[in-house]
């Protein structure tokens, strides 16, 4: 059994891991659809988006490891951290739910990601800027795919509408966390690494309002509930994902494909 | 290989690279796809500079391997591949010949990447704004089935006249 690595929680490392881990964990959830999606085309689409997210995550984790300076590579960071050292937003780790839940979550996260990548293109860190230059193009397709499906399902049959309504009621409260600012993103803003997350809230809400308008959905009221995955405090679902993700590397240390 | 002068060595490498097919779209070469950005001749061997198409493209490692093997077989080794992320790859880098080959292969080549910057919040279900011509019969009576296809870079379409499915290389 491989020991966990100890992460140096520098602000810039945490900042990149908030983005990279959100991509990584959402990719894991999307990949669960492989062989289970309602139609073959969407099965393939979700797997393709998961692949994009894994690629973005690999680049960010690699760079986070470089900034950390402790010699940790992408694989060690992906597979050998303890739960409290993962900084993904809680929304990414929620169980995949039904197809309506999945596309609604994708819309929330992809709209956030697209706005974030647009800002990270101007990062003072050349590597982050380069990663963002590619990722922003991918995020646009993810956002478009999710928005398209949310409109189709909300404006579809009574059953599809019922499912979107249920998904929205469940998931909306987890979106607030994506826009919380603290010492980590304030430091990133100060050095020019990336924006404060709170700055993304307004354009994100404008985009969500436009999509919801087309779908005939109302933007739910804010809730007092706050999830805390970006600070390493996760939901009960996180441990199960990590058990699945980490099993091979923990049991067969250094195993390669 | 010491007798091979630097400039001709680089030219020879480009000729070899032009024969290496993309593993996922074997109709075109890695050069026609536009991912080979530079070939540099160093004292300790050739450096092939690659820019990946998509962040998560699983073909990237295979392409590196294929390229190095082809150069080795042609007696141009040792060679190494390096990654250049910026500027990001765009479908605008696919060559004219590459586009013609894609079409002949049954994949509609991408339009200008700037088209992808226009926000299309909802893709029209019946392709009214983007009417792709069927690569088999030329009909514009086509529709998109899915935003993604056999790879992330392609969307799945069908022709409503000849009834054949086809793929569209999405502008990126």
Domains, chain B, in order of start with CATH, read: 6-89 (3.30.300.130), 99-169 (no CATH)
**Quick one: how far is CA B58 from the chain centroid?**
13
Beta carbons of A134 and B89 less than 8 Å apart:
yes
Determine, for residues B148 and A49 on separate chains, whether the beta-carbon distance falls below 8 Å.
yes
Min CA distance, B52 vs chain A (Å)?
9
Residues of B with CB under 8 A from a CB of A: 52, 54-58, 85-90, 116, 120-123, 145-152, 156, 170, 172
- Domain enclosing residue A145, as ranges: 11-251
Chain A residues close to B172, C-beta within 8 Å = 137-138, 141
Inter-chain residue contact A145 with B147, CB threshold 8 Å: yes
* A2 occurs within a structural domain: no
Q: A3 in a domain, yes or no?
A: no
Beta bridge partners of A156: none
Q: Does A189 touch chain B (CB under 8 A)?
A: no
Residue A256 lies in a domain: no
Helix (H, G, I), strand (E, B) or coil at B54: coil
Interchain CB distance below 8 Å, A138 and B57: no
Peptide bond preceding A127: is omega within 30 degrees of 0, i.e. cis?
no
A107 lies in some domain:
yes
Instruction: Look at residue A6 and tell me if it is in a domain.
Output: no
A134/B52 CB distance under 8 A:
yes
Partner-chain contact B116 A135, CB within 8 Å? no
CATH number at residue A144: 1.20.1260.10
CB-side neighbour CA atoms (13 Å) of B134 = 16
Q: Is residue A113 part of a domain?
A: yes
Verify whether the Cβ–Cβ distance A144 to B123 is below 8 Å. yes
**Per-residue pLDDT tens listing for chain B (172 residues):** 444 567 889 999 999 999 999 998 899 999 999 999 999 999 999 999 999 999 888 788 899 999 999 999 999 989 999 999 999 999 999 999 999 999 999 999 998 887 665 555 555 554 445 679 999 999 999 988 888 888 888 999 999 999 999 999 998 8
**pLDDT per residue rounded down to tens, chain A (257 residues):** 688 999 999 999 999 999 999 999 999 999 999 999 989 999 999 999 999 999 999 999 999 999 999 999 999 999 999 999 999 999 999 999 999 999 999 999 999 999 999 999 999 999 999 999 999 999 999 999 999 999 999 999 999 999 999 999 999 999 999 999 999 999 999 999 999 999 999 999 999 999 999 999 999 998 899 999 999 999 999 999 999 999 999 999 888 87
Domain count, chain A: 1
What H or E segment, with its residue span, contains residue B47? strand B45-50
With contact defined as beta carbons under 8 Å apart, do B73 and B38 qualify?
no
Distances (CA, A) of A170 to A54, A91, A214: 26, 11, 21
Would residue A4 count as lying in a domain?
Answer: no
pTM, entire model:
0.93
Do the interacting molecules here have an ipTM over 0.90? Answer: no
Q: Computed over its alpha carbons, how large is the radius of gyration of chain B? A: 18
Q: Give the torsion through C-alpha atoms of A201, A202, A208, A210, to 10 deg.
A: -170
Best residue in B91, B122, B155 for a mutation probing chain A (most A CBs within 10 Å): B122
* Optimal mutation site among B24, B34, B52, B55, interface A, most CBs of chain A within 10 A: B55
- B39 in helix, strand or coil? strand
Please tell me which of the candidates A41, A48, A134 has its beta carbon nearest to residue B88: A134
Any domain includes A5: no
């Amino acid at each position: 059994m491989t020991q966990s690595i100890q992460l140096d929680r520098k602000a810039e490392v945490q900042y990149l891991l908030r983005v990279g881990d959100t991509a990584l964990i959402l990719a894991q959830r999307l990949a669960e659809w492989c062989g289970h999606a309602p139609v073959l085309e969407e099965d393939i689409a979700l797997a393709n988006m998961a692949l994009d997210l894994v690629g973005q995550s690999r680049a960010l984790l690699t760079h986070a490891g470089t900034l950390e300076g402790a010699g940790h590579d992408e694989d060690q960071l992906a597979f050998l951290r303890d739960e409290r050292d993962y900084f993904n937003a809680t929304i990414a780790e929620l169980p995949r739910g039904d197809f309506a839940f999945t596309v609604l979550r994708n819309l929330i996260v992809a709209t956030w990601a697209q706005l974030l990548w647009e800002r990270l293109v101007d990062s003072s860190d050349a590597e982050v800027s380069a990663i963002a230059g590619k990722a922003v193009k991918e995020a646009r397709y993810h956002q478009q795919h999710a928005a398209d499906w949310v409109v189709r399902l909300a404006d579809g049959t009574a059953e599809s509408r019922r499912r979107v309504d249920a998904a929205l009621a469940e998931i909306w409260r987890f979106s607030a966390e994506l826009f919380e600012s603290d010492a980590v993103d304030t430091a990133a803003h100060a050095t020019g690494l990336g924006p404060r997350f709170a700055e993304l809230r307004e354009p994100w809400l404008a985009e969500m309002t436009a999509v919801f308008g087309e779908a005939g959905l109302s933007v739910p009221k804010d809730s007092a509930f706050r999830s805390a995955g970006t600070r390493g405090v996760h939901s009960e679902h996180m441990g199960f994902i990590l058990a699945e993700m980490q099993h091979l590397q923990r049991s067969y240390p250094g195993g390669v494909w | 290989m010491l007798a091979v002068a630097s400039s001709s060595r680089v030219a020879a490498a480009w000729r070899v690279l032009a024969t290496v097919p993309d593993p996922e779209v074997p109709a075109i070469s890695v050069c026609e796809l536009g991912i080979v950005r530079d070939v540099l001749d160093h004292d300790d061997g050739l450096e092939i500079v690659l820019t990946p198409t998509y962040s998560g493209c699983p073909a990237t490692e295979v392409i590196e391997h294929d390229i190095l093997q082809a150069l080795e077989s042609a007696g141009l080794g040792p060679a190494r591949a390096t990654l250049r992320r910026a500027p990001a790859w765009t479908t605008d880098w696919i060559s004219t010949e590459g586009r013609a080959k894609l079409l002949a292969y049954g994949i509609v080549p991408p339009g200008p990447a700037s088209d992808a910057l226009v926000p299309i919040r909802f893709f029209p279900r019946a392709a009214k704004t983007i009417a792709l011509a069927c690569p088999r019969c030329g009909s514009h009576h086509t529709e998109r089935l899915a935003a993604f296809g056999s790879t992330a870079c392609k969307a799945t379409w069908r022709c409503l006249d000849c009834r054949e499915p086809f793929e569209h290389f999405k502008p990126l």
